[in-house]
Structure 1
Amino acid sequence: MPNIVADIKDVLSLHVVTNVLLSVTYYLLKVYRPVCEYLFDDCFLELKEWEWLTFLGCIIVIKGRRKAAFLDYVATACMFAKFLNGFMLFRTSPIYGLAYFLVVLLHTIVLPKPVYQGPESITYFRGPHLQDELERDKRITWIVAFYAAWSPQSVTFAPVFSEISSLYRLDNLQFGKIDVSRYPDVGKMFNVDSSSWSKQLPTVIVFENGKETNRKPFISPKGTVVRYKFSKDGMIADFDLNNIYQRCKQNPLKGHKEKKDTDVTTEKKEN
């Protein structure tokens, strides 16, 4: 189950802390004496600057209201705040603005956003063997990610799926992945477009009793793809993973022996 201690460590990571500091740089420089006296004409925010900050707050609320994860919300707020910081510093002096943007760039390079590097419990399917596995034992709930190695969104999503697989896997709740760029026929079988202009990569589908019960992004009745931004907390909520986990845990498999198949590989990364 989700680890609260790990979530706190993520919030207090050096990347997040420095990102927040960069987001309030202009305010700190403008009001903190004697720095403000050296860099600016006065040590007070102008009315126009307060208006910009208020407008920034409105944008952050609007853009961030769909963020399921707190860290995603913080990242969005910091991104817009840094743009405003850079603009106000550049307005004061182009040298200040360029220096600030250089620091932001160095921060992105030296202290990038941390990604999950822990264990995973994922079955990597090849070709039609996904369908065979779904039909082999319908007592097993499968959560399968359809991805493409060339898709930036799939690459970004990979650590999220790995972490969730490690947290929630049971004998009767298992996680799988299949590269539909290598096996487009499988993607077509499950109505996942694997073309280079696809809006469905990655797609995650939940199979219960061998049948699809949920997917993200889903396809509307009009046939259009309703875009979905994957995050750890978003997946847990939107796929109802906590309830699925509890149901599976209360109904464990009896006498279950996992089938070994040369065309199906399971990879587990240890800490």
Structure 2
Amino acid sequence: MSNAHPRPTGRRHPGKIARAGRAPKPVSPRTYAAEPGGRPVLVCAGDSITHGMISANWVRGVAQAAAPTMDTVNAGVSGNLAWNLLSRLDEVIACRPAIVTVLIGTNDALAQISDRWSARYRRTQRLPQRPTAEWYEENLRRIVDRLKYETTARIALMSLPPLSDGVDGRWNDLITPYNAIIHDVAARAGVPVLPVHERIAGLIADEPASLVEPWDGTQKLMGAATVRRLLLRRSWDTIARKHGFATTTDGVHLNEHAAAQIAVLVERFVNNAGENGYTTR
């Protein structure tokens, strides 16, 4: 497969046309591949935390910052596990990206909460097997391998954000093995890990413990957060405070304050600033 980037055609994708008072928005992989803009492309791949529909949209901020020199594609899909991202990776590769960021694994970890969570993911995401840490590692390695050998992109993985504003305890124990896998896969592939977990954990450490409510491990707050966002037009930060969290709206999805940390890390990587400082432990 040829990995050369398409030559500029002078056309811009309709979603990228500058309108007075409006910043450019990221488009989906299929939309961009159907009519490429002819400039270097950043693809942000992941799940709902990247998709930005039921979580604060950090990709939009990155797109605005990158707009003068680069197009941005949002390849996040809510609910996806690593296997789902691997299954649709052709869409990412078809964009002929210059840079790819990968933030995937929160749903793989959540599937370990209970048999009910696992069964729900198998049904809704049409998984061929029960999610396990070993399967996650296999799928993540295949994602990175394909990106390395089928694109010319600079690649960065990202560590998973904390659950339930937890930097220790049950939810940290659930996330920790998956972050260890991310670091191991990155080290073997020679790609950096953007320290999302560490940056958001820093925000949590700054919050008084009395203001943070523990998450009960259910999805009940997810529906409430969506209603408050879509119907009541509340900000994600306001919803987080209403539910007793500092960085998440419902124990899983990020508020604006936390999402901004991801945007900063990605912008630095895109601009090469501090790239070698990110760990590949």
Q: TM-score, normalised by structure 1?
A: 0.29
Higher strand share: 1
Q: Point out the structure with max Rg over C-alpha.
A: 1
